Amino acid sequence: MLFSYNWLQSLIKEKLPKPKKLVELLTMHSFEVEEVKKKGSDFVLDINVLPNRASDCFSFIGIARECAALLGIPYNDPSVKLVEDKKVKAKNFVSIQVKNKNDCPRYSAGVMIDIKVGPSPKWMQQKLSVCGLRPISNIVDIANYVMLETGQPLHAFDLDKITEQKIIVRKAKKGEKILTLDDEKYDLDKDILLITDKKGVLAIAGIKGGKRAEIDKKTKRIVLESANFNPKTIRSSSKKIKLKTDASWRFEHGIDPNLTEIAINRALELIQEIAGGQIAQGLVDYYPKKVSVKTIQLDLADVEKMLGVKIPDKAIKNILNKLGFEIFEVKTGKVKVKIPTRRLDISIPEDLIEEIGRIFGLEKIPCLMPQVSLTSPRRNLDIFWLNFIKNILKEVGFFEAYNRSFISQKDADIFKYKSFKLIELKNPPSADYQYLRPNLIINLLKNVKENQKFSKGIKIFELGKIFKKNKSYKEKRMLVGLLEGGDFYEIKGTIDLLFDKLGISNIWYDDYQVSPDDSKISIWNSKICAEIKVDNQEIGFLGEISNNLLKRLKIKNKLVGFELDFEKLKEIASQESAYSPVSVYPAAIRDLAVLVPKETKVIEVLNIINISGGRLIKDIDVFDIYEGEEIPDNKKNFAFHLIYQAEDRTLKAKEINKIHKKIIKTLEKNPEWQVRK
């Protein structure tokens, strides 16, 4: 905004610093001056006022008040002395109707009669020209002059051109148009706020006046408008018709509603002084909800805490007084401060402290490291174990998948989920996102289906939330992994490694008896599936994915996978691990083959071998599962490497043979099992 140096000087009692020094002063206190130009005997300052200060600093009075506060010198507020004609009442000439008080919180109108329209004085024309405005006539120039001086836009209507002398503030009707003062035509819509009368449009509210009620040389009676409009409404109107004016620019940033009366009285006084005429007594003032002075309690100790520098209490109070804030109710260490309604940017104590720091001088605040006591943040175990598990799986070649938490009706049908057991979204973004997912496997299988076109041996996992509905809604996090082309023992090895890294022992792979109504029957191959337990607590499942399910999804290759309850896993996981030294004594290996019925699971045989062999069985490897030639029908052969090792001695062949025979004898107690020698 352009400011005349001489005009600013006229508002301050003492001499201002020279323009360059004044620029330095303003720049040091949060005002950016883009340019200084000499114009005749005057200087023009192009001051960039930040949006938060628009309510009071888009005006000469606002900037003059700031300069006075920064310099610590008195400020001249223009005094107004109205000489009203008591025989003529403004309310007898015009009435105001506002359709929506939110669009127009205040509308003040003053009336003058017997005026004489002509050119404005040279001193006024010079000031307007310096600030970039073209002089038009005394009435229009005075309205612009007062807008620059106070920050309140004004507009003058020819009273005799207003139908039934009634002003109506309303939104535009469909098809309405306006011819503005600069002979431009605009089509209006229902969101644009207007100033109208019974006949039609007089002006676009807060933006531009219309031709219908313009001031001309024949004008004798005027209505002077000084209104306050909703910033959002004016911004929207200005954007729609693509028209920015000095008035709209100010209204868009917000103006103090109490400024309307100050500005209109100043303008009426100048019109009477320059254009003659009589001022009708009183204002026609629509002001349903008055804006009153705010009060903020300021703890003076907080000033040092926030600014990092000690400012004496007396200096703080002096700064607040210079800025026009009234201090009252001074208590020990605390003061109550009245905030002028023009300061729309001040609403909390921190705003006041910012003003104190700005006027005190930000350059006086030393750069110091903050002196505060810091406590270590509490460890978030959820995040820790989540990242820990992801890293383990990443190291064994798994890729992490991120899927949306939704499934479609088609997915539910494939997995045989009944809709009443699923949580349905009221407003799903699409048909593919109708339900919240009841497990992670559904979307992971779809990932495999899409990726099998491009690669083989897919290893993926996901750690995320699932959602279930029983008597109430429940959600919990699960960990699911899938391996393409692998077998049961490969995925079991992954789980063993994972549990070992998590410090979890007492793992038990138990048979899982599938009931006909169990949803898991649609996911796992019931013959190659195990329940994972820790201390008899169920943690999850592992096994082959059902062939029927793979066919329905058109997945070509065999898949094995695991499903673990992350919430249970993190509860039993531990970073502590017991050190077990590597035995220096040699290990001995014996092979064992067992012929069993087809439905027998490897885990059943493994459990018996472990129990019978005791602590000298160091490890058992399944190296072959065979069905075919030389094997009777409905039978299959399991082949194992049994690894024997002691921690304190070298085992003798006699001792190993004794344990091995015990294992064979225990296995053969089952009449359907035969140890092949």
Distance from C-alpha of 125 to C-alpha of 272, rounded to nearest angstrom: 17
Domains in the chain: how many in total?
5
**Confidence at 578, pLDDT banded by 50, 70, 90:** low
pLDDT above 70 for 265:
yes
Strand partners, 563: 480, 541
Nearest by Cα to 249 from 466, 19, 2, 430: 2
What digits encode the pLDDT tens for the residues 40-53? 889 999 999 888 89
Nearest by Cα to 603 from 653, 533, 538: 533
Distance from C-alpha of 553 to C-alpha of 550, rounded to nearest angstrom: 5
Tell me the average pLDDT of the chain. 91
Q: What is the pLDDT of residue 577?
A: 62
Extract the tokens encoding 593. Answer: 């083959």
Of the candidate ranges 15-24, 342-351, 466-475, the one whose mean pLDDT is the lowest: 466-475
On whether the CB atoms of residues 545 and 523 are closer than 8 A, the answer is: yes
Tell whether 394 and 337 lie within a shared domain: no
Tell whether 531 and 670 lie within a shared domain: no
pLDDT above 70 for 370:
no
Helix (H, G, I), strand (E, B) or coil at 644: strand
Environment class of 368 (CB within 10 Å of its CB; exposed 0-12, middle 13-18, buried 19+): exposed
DSSP calls for 183-200:
S-EEE--TTSEEEE-SSS
Distance from C-alpha of 312 to C-alpha of 402, rounded to nearest angstrom: 58
pLDDT above 70 for 159:
yes
**Within a domain: 77:** no
Distance from C-alpha of 64 to C-alpha of 73, rounded to nearest angstrom: 11
Q: What is the pLDDT of residue 459?
A: 95
Mean pLDDT of 101-118: 96
Tell whether 168 and 263 lie within a shared domain: yes
**Within a domain: 335:** yes
pLDDT above 90 for 407:
yes
HEC string of 536-604? CEEEEEEEEECHHHHHHHCCCCCEEEEEEEHHHHHHHCCCCCCCCCCCCCCCEEEEEEEEEECCCCHHH
Q: Which amino acid is at 404?
A: R
Q: Which amino acid is at 151?
A: G
pLDDT above 60 for 405:
yes
Distance from C-alpha of 272 to C-alpha of 113, rounded to nearest angstrom: 10
Nearest by Cα to 407 from 394, 392, 386, 423: 423
On whether the CB atoms of residues 479 and 563 are closer than 8 A, the answer is: yes
Q: What is the pLDDT of residue 513?
A: 59
What digits encode the pLDDT tens for the residues 617-652? 988 888 888 888 888 888 989 999 999 999 889 999
Distance from C-alpha of 164 to C-alpha of 183, rounded to nearest angstrom: 25
Tell whether 59 and 88 lie within a shared domain: no
Q: What is the pLDDT of residue 505?
A: 80
Tell whether 261 and 301 lie within a shared domain: no
**Within a domain: 291:** no
Q: Which amino acid is at 198?
A: K
Sign for the CA dihedral angle at 246, 251, 254, 255 comes to positive
Q: How many Cβ atoms sit within 10 Å of the Cβ of residue 187?
A: 12
Crossing angle of the two packed helices 300-307 and 349-360, in degrees rounded to 10: 60
Distance from C-alpha of 420 to C-alpha of 666, rounded to nearest angstrom: 49
Distance from C-alpha of 283 to C-alpha of 264, rounded to nearest angstrom: 9
Structure pTM?
A: 0.61
What digits encode the pLDDT tens for the residues 301-314? 999 989 988 999 99
pLDDT above 60 for 517:
no
The strands making up 208-209's β-sheet, listed across from edge to edge, are 95-98, 166-171, 193-196, 201-204, 208-209
What CATH number does residue 53 fall under? Answer: 3.30.56.10
**Within a domain: 449:** yes
Nearest by Cα to 511 from 495, 528, 524: 528
Tell whether 332 and 385 lie within a shared domain: no
Residues 6+ apart with CB under 8 A from 2: 44, 45, 46, 130, 131, 132
**Within a domain: 350:** yes
What digits encode the pLDDT tens for the residues 410-465? 988 888 888 888 999 988 888 889 999 999 999 999 999 999 888 888 999 999 99
Residue with tokens 């003492």: 14
What CATH number does residue 409 fall under? Answer: 3.30.930.10
Tell whether 137 and 215 lie within a shared domain: yes
Helix (H) or strand (E) holding 443: helix 441-451
Residues 6+ apart with CB under 8 A from 180: 186, 204, 208, 209, 210, 211
**Within a domain: 374:** no
Mean pLDDT of 501-506: 86
**Within a domain: 369:** no
Query: 28: domain range?
Result: 2-71
User: What are the CA-CA distances from residue 350 to residues 300, 569, 626 (Å)?
Assistant: 11, 47, 79
Q: What is the pLDDT of residue 178?
A: 96
Q: Which of 540, 572, 604 is the last residue of a domain?
A: 572
Extract the tokens encoding 170. Answer: 């309303």
Q: What is the pLDDT of residue 579?
A: 63
Tell whether 310 and 274 lie within a shared domain: no
| Residue 85: DSSP 8-state | E
Q: What is the pLDDT of residue 633?
A: 85
**Within a domain: 292:** no
DSSP calls for 110-169:
EEEES----PPPHHHHHHHHHTT-----HHHHHHHHHHHHHS---EEEEGGGSGGGEEEE
Distance from C-alpha of 105 to C-alpha of 234, rounded to nearest angstrom: 13
pLDDT above 80 for 512:
no
On whether the CB atoms of residues 470 and 441 are closer than 8 A, the answer is: no
Helix (H) or strand (E) holding 279: strand 278-281
Distance from C-alpha of 415 to C-alpha of 413, rounded to nearest angstrom: 5
Tell whether 554 and 487 lie within a shared domain: yes
**Confidence at 515, pLDDT banded by 50, 70, 90:** low
Mean pLDDT of 553-580: 86
Mean pLDDT of 81-89: 92
pLDDT above 80 for 576:
no
pLDDT above 90 for 226:
yes
Q: Which amino acid is at 468?
A: K
Mean pLDDT of 338-351: 94
What digits encode the pLDDT tens for the residues 172-189? 998 999 999 999 999 999
Pairing outcome for strands 635-644 and 588-597:
antiparallel
Q: Which of 71, 100, 117 is the last residue of a domain?
A: 71
Tell whether 492 and 412 lie within a shared domain: yes
Tell whether 141 and 227 lie within a shared domain: yes
What CATH number does residue 140 fall under? Answer: 3.50.40.10
Distance of CA 6 to the CA centre of its chain: 47
The strands making up 42-48's β-sheet, listed across from edge to edge, are 2-4, 42-48, 32-39
Tell whether 301 and 251 lie within a shared domain: no
Q: Which of 286, 315, 346 is the last residue of a domain?
A: 286
Q: What is the pLDDT of residue 464?
A: 94
